[in-house]
Amino acid sequence: MNRNDILLGLENDQLAQMHTLEAIMASTIMVMIIVFAVQATSLTPLTSSTANAHIEAQLQVIGQDMLSALDYSQYDQRSDLKNDILNWNGNEYVWNGTSYYSDTPNASSTLNSSITDMLTYIAIPRGIAHNVQFTHMSDTGRFSSIFYIYNGDPSDNAVIISRKVVLSNPDIGNTSTFQANTGIVDIDDTTDLYNIINVKLILWRM
């Protein structure tokens, strides 16, 4: 092997090493670009739709837990949710910053119930706006809704959680007084079934 062959071989080795080094550097740059892109995507603020979906999922869980706790009853006892309906005087209440208040004349101005206790403990400290609505069947066979608590029109990310409560004549006792106060009628005079109340809890972020 002459001197020129040796030099040519060394030059080829150097070129091969240079190409290998360039390939490694290019691969490293590509990996860094991919990592940067992934990190930048994960660190950017959530889009409106994603944020709304996250908020709605949270509110849904909170609302379901609240109604489940209120509707729980031990054997042969009424739930707190049913008791709140039975003790309702038919007025609409709003949160005034310190209590649930109604300006209806000749009626109790403040509302104290298990529902308001739950909302005061969970919803209000978290800045969750809320309405509570009772939907029932009217004497004409149509459904009618009455606000138990009303705090304004819900936003676009509001969620509705509902729970059905069956009322019977023995539960109510004086059905005439109950109907006069609430407007909820007896839908079946032939049985002890009085009406079925669909309690709707509407939650949204301000």
Question: Does the CA dihedral 90-157-204-102 come out positive or negative?
Answer: negative
47-97 pLDDT, tens digit each: 445 667 778 888 999 999 999 999 998 887 899 999 999 999 999 999 998
Global model pTM greater than 0.75: no
Q: List all residues 6 or more positions away from 102 whose beta carbon is below 8 Å from its beta carbon.
A: 91, 92, 93, 94, 108, 109, 110, 111
3-state secondary structure at position 44: coil
133-191 pLDDT, tens digit each: 999 988 777 899 999 999 999 988 899 999 999 999 999 999 999 999 999 999 988 89
Output the CA angle 115-120-124, nearest 5 degrees: 125
Domains of the chain, by residue range, sit at: 1-44, 49-205
